[in-house]
Amino acid sequence: MTVRKRVEALRKTLEHHNRLYYLEDAPEITDAEYDALLRELEALEAAHPELRTPDSPTQRVGATPQAQFAEVRHRTPMLSIGNAFDEDEVRAFDKRMREALAVDKVEYAVEPKFDGLAVSLTYRNGLLAQGATRGDGTTGEDVTANLRTVHSIPLKINEPSLEVRGEVLMYRRDFEALNARQRQAEQKEYVNPRNAAAGAIRQLDSRITASRRLRFFAYALVSESPSGTHAAALDRLEKLGFPVCKERDVVPDVEGLLKYYAKIGRLRDQLPYAIDGVVYKVNRLDWQARVGFVSRAPRFALAHKYPAEEQTTEVLGIEVQVGRTGALTPVARLKPVFVGGVTVTNATLHNESELRRKDVRIGDTVIVRRAGDVIPEVVSVRIEDRPTVTRVFNMPSKCPVCGSAVVKNEDEAVHRCSGGLFCPAQRKQALLHFASRRAMNIEGLGERIVDQLVDKELVHTPADLYKLSLEQLSDLERMAEKSAANLVAELERSRDTTLERLIYALGIRNVGETTARDLARHFGDLEPLEKATEEQLLQVSDVGPVVARSIRQFFDEPHNRQALKDLVASGVRWPVVEPAPRLQGPVKSFVLTGKFSGMTRDEARAKIEAKGHKVAGSVSKKTDFVVAGEDAGSKLDRARALGVTILQEKELIEMLENL
């Protein structure tokens, strides 16, 4: 795999897990795994700066705010903090601070790193005026009504105007009580206190938030003219009535940082709340301002993470779980063991490569870790304790859920079910993707509706959407007759689509919007695409062996072909297009930025692509032209720095006539 492809794959994976963690409160990977992916991407972008883009996960934090809440633009960005995992990284941080400040010693404010949801509180005229989540760091969600239900947040203070930042979390005992109630009601339990707290803050009904027994701890006071120290600011917040962590401290140097880390590590299990590390901050606020920020994190702060807790137990069996994207994950069924504060009975083995590398067998004694205090994993096997007879596990050739063929590409470690449109395990994800804005654009068909349609077994494949009646939709929970009628109209409208939208909607692995557009322009209709060999697919612009193989695997699965036939039978239609003309000269690469007056950017894209040329999303050395409209931003600056030819809208129109 090329560096560019690996960077793109990492970004896609990280954005997926950002959404699961920050918006859906349902993480699929551990914090440690996420950190490893992010570090790999950071290293690749550092080695290849031309691949770095403003929307990369390395350049921002969190995830895009949810649509059901009003957006709040943070006056000062709410950034994440860089991580350290060993003593050498802490010492390197201290060295950077001393060199940046040209001093021999730096004093630090230190405190536990809460595992909760970061929020900002704004007070005007002494009253709580607004509460917002961090969101993507620049824009958050207005959750004022919900935060008002958190008893430890003051509604009135003796200060006319103030912005306070802190963490909403749930004590361990309250979390255990909540899950006990969930079990009693036969409802899904929460993964950890952090997800329970985050989910409560994003409830549309603030009465649910109030029932969760949430807590708030302040950790920063926002000031436009920083003076004094961070420790003094926390003392001031405490006097104003804000809860502030009692375990905070001030240390004189790097040795103090390491001693504090060890001290809190010993106290960790005794704390009433979950932490995953400690935070170090340069104490003097003017020094913080002098050291400054990188794109997604303050330079003056560092989070020193603790290693995950580990225990030993026995592997009773190995099964396979099929994820929402079709990934098959081997899971070890364990003899129950108490790890990280909970009893663990299952642990992920990630994929076949990891299973073979660790040589995990049924009957083995293994070390289990709750990595990041989230998902248990098997760390290693105690070979010296291996019994005489053990059983080696082999990945299945058929999906255990739907029976479709299991495929594994050479460049991937993961086995996948090929029945994307058919497999029940992938059904919800496939339907949400099918209905998304860039695919079939079915407005109103969101996650809540899809969950009910699948759970009630009303929809099995996308074609079933077009069989839904007004009565069936009206019977769904929180679905009024008018909303149901609107959705029926949206479904009817979506029957008329374009080939590129349909191809993208199918959810073929590795086929994004741009590739779907290239495939539509190359083949002109679905039937020749469905029958195309890998060699024929490789003739399409930017389709390499991996993408060609993914397309072929998708259409080779009978279940997918049947789902497509059902779609056509349900009335989904698209105009057949003339295959793109073969260019006499080289393909030119364009990037569009800013606002155009005579056409939209989508129209400009269509005009360029109709001439057989490409429109990319970011500027690189391979870009031929950047077309700049009004209010053009960083892409224009990047083009100037690289010496890329810059066109105005009028110049683009003239060029298109001659291309």
Calculate mean pLDDT across residues 213-228: 88
- Specify the CATH number for the domain of residue 49: 1.10.287.610
| Nearest one of 505, 550, 548, 546 to 523, comparing CA atoms | 548
Calculate mean pLDDT across residues 391-415: 90
Are 621 and 642 in contact by the 8 Å Cβ rule? The answer is: yes
Calculate mean pLDDT across residues 136-159: 89
> What is the helix, strand, coil percentage profile of the chain, to 5?
40, 20, 40
DSSP state of 165: E
- For the chain, the average pLDDT equals 87
Instruction: Indicate whether 417 and 550 sit together in one domain.
Output: yes
pLDDT at 655: 85
Instruction: Kindly report which listed range (344-358, 451-465, 558-572) carries the lowest average pLDDT score.
Output: 344-358
Going by their DSSP bridges, the two strands 310-322 and 301-305 should be labelled as: unpaired
Q: Is residue 195 part of a domain?
A: yes
Whole-angstrom Cα distance, residue 153 to residue 169?
Answer: 12
Whether the per-residue pLDDT at 334 is higher than 70: the answer is: yes
Backbone region of residue 241 per phi and psi (left: phi > 0; alpha: psi in -120 to 50; beta: other values): left
Whole-angstrom Cα distance, residue 640 to residue 631?
Answer: 15
Reported as a pLDDT band with limits 50, 70 and 90, residue 79 is: confident
Calculate mean pLDDT across residues 291-314: 85
Instruction: Indicate whether 575 and 596 sit together in one domain.
Output: no
Whole-angstrom Cα distance, residue 240 to residue 530?
Answer: 67
**How many residues belong to the chain?**
659
Q: Is residue 253 part of a domain?
A: yes
Are 530 and 467 in contact by the 8 Å Cβ rule? The answer is: no
Instruction: Indicate whether 134 and 269 sit together in one domain.
Output: yes
What are the tokens at 228?
Answer: 């004094």
Q: Is residue 64 part of a domain?
A: no
Reported as a pLDDT band with limits 50, 70 and 90, residue 505 is: very high
Q: Is residue 60 part of a domain?
A: no
Catalytic residue among 113, 281, 305, 635: 113
- pLDDT tens profile 538-549: 988 778 888 999
| Nearest one of 42, 37, 17 to 29, comparing CA atoms | 17
Residue where one domain finishes, among candidates 274, 305, 336? 305
Calculate mean pLDDT across residues 86-96: 95
Whole-angstrom Cα distance, residue 80 to residue 103?
Answer: 26
Whether the per-residue pLDDT at 619 is higher than 90: the answer is: no
Instruction: Indicate whether 93 and 228 sit together in one domain.
Output: yes
Residue recorded with tokens 């930042």: 165
Whether the per-residue pLDDT at 238 is higher than 60: the answer is: yes
Whole-angstrom Cα distance, residue 199 to residue 26?
Answer: 9
Whether the per-residue pLDDT at 18 is higher than 80: the answer is: no
| Nearest one of 604, 615, 619 to 652, comparing CA atoms | 604
HSE-CB of 506 using CA atoms within 13 angstroms: 34
pLDDT at 580: 59
Whole-angstrom Cα distance, residue 227 to residue 100?
Answer: 18
- pLDDT tens profile 549-564: 999 999 999 999 999 9
- Specify the CATH number for the domain of residue 405: 1.10.150.20
319 DSSP β-pair partners = 331
Whether the per-residue pLDDT at 67 is higher than 60: the answer is: no
Calculate mean pLDDT across residues 637-645: 88
What are the tokens at 49?
Answer: 């700066």
Q: Where are the beta strands (DSSP E) in 387-444?
A: 406-407, 415-417
Instruction: Indicate whether 602 and 633 sit together in one domain.
Output: yes
Whether the per-residue pLDDT at 219 is higher than 60: the answer is: yes
Calculate mean pLDDT across residues 427-439: 93
Rounded to the nearest 10 degrees, what angle do helices 601-610 and 649-658 cross at? 20
| Nearest one of 218, 230, 227, 372 to 301, comparing CA atoms | 230
111 DSSP β-pair partners = 279
Instruction: Indicate whether 572 and 637 sit together in one domain.
Output: no
Single-letter amino acid, residue 523: F
pLDDT at 63: 46
* Total-model pTM: 0.47
Going 497 to 503 to 508 to 514, the CA torsion angle's sign is: negative
Residue where one domain finishes, among candidates 55, 80, 95? 55
pLDDT at 581: 57
| Nearest one of 492, 490, 518 to 503, comparing CA atoms | 518
Whether the per-residue pLDDT at 652 is higher than 80: the answer is: yes
Whole-angstrom Cα distance, residue 187 to residue 192?
Answer: 15
- Residues 6 or more apart in contact with residue 463 via CB below 8 angstroms: 563, 566, 567, 569, 570, 572
Whether the per-residue pLDDT at 498 is higher than 90: the answer is: yes
Whole-angstrom Cα distance, residue 615 to residue 237?
Answer: 51
Instruction: Indicate whether 165 and 234 sit together in one domain.
Output: yes
Whole-angstrom Cα distance, residue 378 to residue 337?
Answer: 12
Whole-angstrom Cα distance, residue 349 to residue 67?
Answer: 35
**Per-residue three-class SS string for 281-319:** EECEHHHHHHHCECCCCECCEEEEECCCCEEEEEEEEEE
Q: Is residue 65 part of a domain?
A: no
As to burial, measured by CB atoms within 10 angstroms (0-12 exposed, 13-18 middle, 19+ buried), residue 215 is buried
Going by their DSSP bridges, the two strands 625-628 and 645-647 should be labelled as: parallel
Alpha-carbon distance values, 370 to 340, 343, 375, 442 (Å): 6, 10, 6, 40
Instruction: Indicate whether 194 and 338 sit together in one domain.
Output: no
- Residues 6 or more apart in contact with residue 140 via CB below 8 angstroms: 65, 71, 72, 74, 78, 120, 132, 133, 134
Calculate mean pLDDT across residues 303-327: 87
Whether the per-residue pLDDT at 373 is higher than 80: the answer is: no
Whole-angstrom Cα distance, residue 268 to residue 340?
Answer: 11
Overall domain count for the chain: 5
Whether the per-residue pLDDT at 26 is higher than 70: the answer is: no
Are 647 and 626 in contact by the 8 Å Cβ rule? The answer is: yes
Reported as a pLDDT band with limits 50, 70 and 90, residue 269 is: confident
Instruction: Indicate whether 178 and 284 sit together in one domain.
Output: yes
Reported as a pLDDT band with limits 50, 70 and 90, residue 135 is: confident
Q: What is the largest CA-CA distance in the chain?
A: 78
Boundaries of domain holding 443: 401-580
Residue where one domain finishes, among candidates 305, 327, 355? 305
Instruction: Indicate whether 135 and 197 sit together in one domain.
Output: yes
Calculate mean pLDDT across residues 215-229: 89
Instruction: Report DSSP letters for 48-79, one per residue.
Output: -GGG--TTSGGG--S-PPPTTS-EEE-SS---
Q: Is residue 285 part of a domain?
A: yes
pLDDT at 136: 81
Whole-angstrom Cα distance, residue 493 to residue 495?
Answer: 6
- Specify the CATH number for the domain of residue 381: 2.40.50.140
Whole-angstrom Cα distance, residue 499 to residue 523?
Answer: 10
Instruction: Indicate whether 188 and 202 sit together in one domain.
Output: yes
Active-site residue, 113 included:
yes
Alpha-carbon distance values, 619 to 5, 50, 511 (Å): 16, 8, 21
HSE-CB of 459 using CA atoms within 13 angstroms: 29
Reported as a pLDDT band with limits 50, 70 and 90, residue 213 is: confident
- Specify the CATH number for the domain of residue 629: 3.40.50.10190
Are 182 and 176 in contact by the 8 Å Cβ rule? The answer is: no
Q: Is residue 576 part of a domain?
A: yes
What are the tokens at 73?
Answer: 């633009």
Calculate mean pLDDT across residues 293-309: 84
- Specify the CATH number for the domain of residue 259: 3.30.470.30
pLDDT at 471: 93
More confident residue, 487 or 602: 487
Instruction: Indicate whether 606 and 553 sit together in one domain.
Output: no
Calculate mean pLDDT across residues 468-484: 91
Residue recorded with tokens 């289990």: 368
End-to-end CA, the chain: 33
72 DSSP β-pair partners = 140
What are the tokens at 300?
Answer: 């003056």
Q: Is residue 149 part of a domain?
A: yes
